[in-house]
């Protein structure tokens, strides 16, 4: 029974890899939509976010079934619950990309991001995309050091988020609407990164069986 449980868990890891790749495409499309004014890209984000929500539910149901049919030992159970956490984080990453896409669509054909913060925003988008890929790759190859690497990238994201708020709270000539859009988009990128870091920590756990230290 135990070997079967591990086998099914491994199959589930395959689905999580696909989900992480989707969440990564979603944030890239969201950044494209925002920066290049591409509403079709924004629509793709919304479709992908809805798919990720369904896939998370599918992972939850599969894990419930596995837990009920087989009586896992403690370590296997912990792995299954780590899988639930990762699926939840990836679903949130997709939802956050969707929030960015919706702000773009609300403003289109006017751009939501003033030129003064374009560079910061573009870099936030790049880091978010990198974090997404690292989660997907860590899930695929079973990288137990993913958590630490993701933490470093997240430090850069936090620094950019602070820079963004300095711009917003300094001499900001673009009006309240642009300020709110920029603040929310910045927050969505930063939350995306946080969920990627959480997912990365749980991946290390899925691989090593050692609980995350924080």
23-62 footprint of a second copy as x/- string (CB under 8 A): -------------------------------------x--
Nearest CB to a second copy, comparing residues 12 and 41: 12
- Closest CA relative to residue 185, chosen from 71, 73, 107: 107
- Residue/partner pairs of 104-109 with CB below 8 Å, 24 or more apart: 104/30, 104/33, 104/34, 104/37, 104/39, 104/42, 105/33, 105/39, 105/42, 105/43, 107/181, 108/37, 108/39, 108/42, 109/37
Give the whole-angstrom CA distance, residue 12 versus residue 20: 12
Interactions with a second copy, residue window 96-155 (CB under 8 A): none
Eight-state DSSP code of residue 70: S
Which span sits near a second copy by CB under 8 A: 14-22, 46-54, 140-148, 163-171?
163-171
Residue number, 133 or 172, with CB nearest to a second copy:
172
Both structure tokens of 45: 């984000």
Q: Which one of residues 74, 152, 213, 214 is an interface residue with a second copy (CB under 8 A)?
A: 74
Should residue 1 be labelled a site residue for a second copy when binding is judged by CB under 8 A? no
Binding-site ranges for a second copy (CB under 8 A):
60, 64, 67-68, 71-74, 77-78, 81, 165, 168-169, 172, 174-177, 179-180, 183-184, 187
């Amino acid at each position: 029974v135990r070997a079967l449980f591990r086998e099914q868990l491994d199959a589930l890891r395959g689905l999580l890899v696909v989900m992480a790749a989707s969440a990564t495409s979603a944030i890239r499309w969201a950044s494209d939509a925002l920066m290049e004014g591409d509403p079709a890209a924004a629509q793709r984000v919304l479709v992908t976010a809805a798919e990720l929500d369904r896939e998370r539910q599918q992972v939850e149901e599969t894990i419930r079934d596995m837990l009920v049919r087989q009586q896992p030992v403690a370590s296997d159970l912990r792995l299954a619950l780590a899988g639930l956490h990762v699926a939840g984080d990836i679903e949130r990453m997709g939802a956050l990309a969707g929030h960015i896409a919706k702000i773009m669509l609300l403003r289109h054909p006017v751009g939501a991001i003033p030129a003064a913060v374009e560079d910061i925003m573009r870099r936030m988008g790049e880091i978010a995309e990198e974090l997404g890929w690292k989660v997907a790759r860590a899930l695929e190859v079973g990288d137990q050091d993913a958590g630490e690497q993701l933490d470093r990238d997240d430090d850069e994201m936090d620094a950019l988020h602070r820079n963004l708020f300095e711009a917003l709270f300094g001499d900001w000539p673009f009006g309240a609407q642009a300020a709110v859009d920029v603040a929310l988009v910045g927050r969505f990128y930063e939350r995306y990164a946080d969920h990627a870091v959480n997912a990365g920590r749980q991946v290390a756990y899925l691989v090593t069986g050692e609980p995350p230290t924080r």
